[in-house]
Amino acid sequence: MAGPLAGLRVVECGTWISAPFCARLLADLGADVTKVEPPVGDPTRGVGAMFPYLNAGKGGWTADLDEPEAREHLHELLGGADVLVENVEPDARRRWGLDFPTVESRHPRLVAVSISPYGRTGPWADKPGTDLCAQAAAALPYGLGVKGREPLRIPYDQADFQAGLHAAAAALCGVRERHRSGRGQGIDISVAHVLGYMVGGMHRLPAKSGRAWQRQDTVMGRAPMGFFECADGFVIVALQKAAHREAFDRLMARPADEEFFPFLMRWMGARTRRELLDLALTDDKVVLGIAQTVDEVLASPQYAHRDLWVDSGVPAATGGGVVFPKPAYRLSVTPVSIDTRTPALGADAPATQGATEGGTVPAAPEPAPRALPLAGVRILEFGWNWAGPMCGQLLADLGAEVIRIETTKRQDEMRFRDFASWFFCNANRSKLSTTINVATDEGRELVRRLAATSDVVMDNLAAGVMSRNGLGYADLCAAKSDIVVASMSMAGQEGPERGLRGFASIATAYSGLELMIGYPADDLSTGLLSFGLGDTTVAVQGAIAILAALDHRDRTGQGQFVDLSQIDAAVATLAEPLLEYQLTGTVAGPQANTHATFCPHGLYPVAGGDRWVAVAVTSDEEWAALAKVVGRAEWAEAPDLATAAARRGHAAEIDAAIAAWTSRLDRDAAAEALWGAGVPAAPLLELTERDSHPQFTSRGFTWDHTADGWDPCFVYATPWLFDATPAHMQRAAPLLGEHNDYVWKELLDLDDGEIERLCEGGVLT
């Protein structure tokens, strides 16, 4: 069967990661994508097997868009397209007529998605930047690494990948809105804004207690939640609750006279990761995961069962083909199908279709009223902690009616713990809440009746929980045949490790990422426990899948089940070290702030204590400019420094010279000097500084959350800037059962007598 986005026409003007990855995600789901590539080619053609991974399934056209004829042909292509995805640098974007005013004038039905380091608006809009620079602007590195040492980025361009995911979800929202209005719009995606939204959401948890976003004194091995050494590596465990410790006591058979933690350390130290994981899978109260290396990731039985890998056709060093990961979602009716053919460099211009022929949406005869993209969509959310709630929050801010199904019998811990209330508000604003006890037969029947009035049911509970409660896909489909049901469990609904459960870092540890964050000089992995990437990445992938499934349903009348896995989501953007291993046999360890392609590339100290500036050189021109600005003009002429690969052999010397220059300067003065020379850079902002910085405030970075029942706070805005139908907070986070009257009386049509009986019987509670 054709993919859920069959018939959608996408034009991509992108290089490196963010725009190509966004467009490939759309191609995976059935869209017809044409990549417009410069004559020199996308630079990822020279980076291992990254080009096939980022550009599978696309058609291509090689063109110099500074030539008037080529530029006009591009606009003819856009006239027949539904979506434009681009990450073009600012001057070229204006020259080629891809800025929003020009696109809206020439192609009023086009959804134009623009991705850039800092956004297309604000005082930094035209500043050069990279993934590292966006991470610095977002304050992320201040929370990674060890106190007193260099702050760390998340390696392998994860900021650009996250922006690509968010851009894909935003594009589908824009297409959905165009179905109704017949008009397109611009969507501005800032990599720094996306990361800032994610970091800020995480920091809402400790912020109320006054804890700063900062590096820790310790590394792996801290209790009660963290990495612990075992016989052959590390496991990650949660031990915050008495139930967690009791579960480990059952596994360990701990003698009563032994202290818990010393005994636990000895017990784990005598067992391998696989032994510990197999034991954990026998007890649903044990929260334990394993930290894997890339070779182990590729050999995972769970990933194999879920058919995660795609053969790129590129020969591997050990024979066979190099494989890369699919996204996290498994759609039951329209599964992801990745065509591994890639655009040929030098491809001729494709045929164009006029605006009246092209696209999937007929032009509206008259301008229709515009509303939020998801207005009219009803979603029932069984959300817990962050992954599920964040997915629901993104959709709610775009207009969906998202109803949390809750109960006083077992509440989301983020709701009832006072220190977490800001976090809860951030993840659950714009939603409604009703209390229905699904542990009762009548409660389950009420949810099925409610599902019959809804478009989507979503959860992030452990595998099998919804089915055991009579709310699995078959049960809900019986209530409404075209329902879309999405589940986000730790390892998916099927496979030998489907019983895996836990929190964000269990997913990123399983994917291999946790061991890649640290200091290579000491072979010291520090992980990213302070940042819940494993939650945020599955949340946005869940939004993509739900939006695609709704698009398919609207065209065909078919609903479907979407099975998402957090461990799949965590590895979906981590192809580069997996590809490197298959091509060279290199097992990626701690990366610090290095980059496989760019050099120099790092965070450098500036005057004033723990203050830093990000610098990333991506071209020969930038290298020459950097050499001049730091007073080492001779570098530009040195043959042994002419290429990034050559410079990597002299990285320590180069880094020391850059640090000597930056350390004499104020942070912002250093960044401005580098920007003025055309070198990608950014100040490493502190989190509270970032929240009030003009680049972020000018883009509506936060929203006030003042409401009865909640301590006043602010929340982080959905980082998708629609120029015609902007996201906004529909309402404050709901109090428990705040919307019971609406749900019970209007949606379920219960009368007062029936409500009283069900409340007394523990059903509506």
Distance CA 297, CA 295 (A): 5
Backbone φ and ψ for 703, nearest 5 degrees, come out as -125, 145
Do 155 and 226 touch, CB atoms closer than 8 A?
no
Which residue, among 191, 62, 84, has the nearest Cα to 129 in the 3D structure? 191
Q: Give the three-class secondary structure for 560.
A: strand
d(CA 164, CA 189): 9
The residues, ordered by sequence, that sit 6+ positions from 278 with a Cβ below 8 Å of its Cβ are: none
Distance (Å, whole) CA 88 – CA 259: 59
Distance CA 55, CA 52 (A): 5
Number of helices followed by number of strands (H, E) in the chain: 31, 26
Phi, psi of 581 (to 5 degrees): -60, -45
CA dihedral sign, ordered 392, 398, 402, 404: positive
Rg (CA), the chain: 26
Give burial (CB, 10 Å; 0-12/13-18/19+) of 85.
buried
C-alpha–C-alpha distance, residues 297 and 576, integer Å: 13
DSSP, collapsed to helix, strand or coil, labels residue 442 as: helix
Tell me how far apart the alpha carbons of residues 89 and 477 are, in angstroms, rounded to a whole number: 47
- Catalytic (active-site) positions: 535
- Say whether 722 sits in a helix, a strand or coil: strand
CA distance 187 to 185: 7
Distances (CA, A) of 636 to 621, 639, 647, 658, 671: 9, 8, 11, 14, 20
Query: Residue written as tokens 């915050």?
Result: 240
Q: Which two tokens stand for residue 321?
A: 């083909």
Question: DSSP strand E in 566-701: where?
Answer: 601-605, 612-616, 681-683
Where in 359-479 does DSSP place strands (E)?
378-382, 401-406, 432-435, 456-459
Reported residue count of the chain is 765
Q: What is the DSSP string of 503-524?
A: -HHHHHHHHT-GGGSEEGGGTE
Compute the distance between CA of residue 214 and CA of residue 151 in angstroms, rounded to an integer.
9
CA angle 520, 522, 525 (to 5 degrees): 65
Q: Cβ neighbours of residue 215 under 8 Å, at least 6 residues apart?
A: 142, 143, 144, 145, 146, 147, 148, 149, 151
Helices 533-556 & 387-397, crossing angle to 10 degrees?
50
Residue 246 CA to residue 234 CA, distance in Å, equals 21
Element (H, E) at 9: strand 9-13
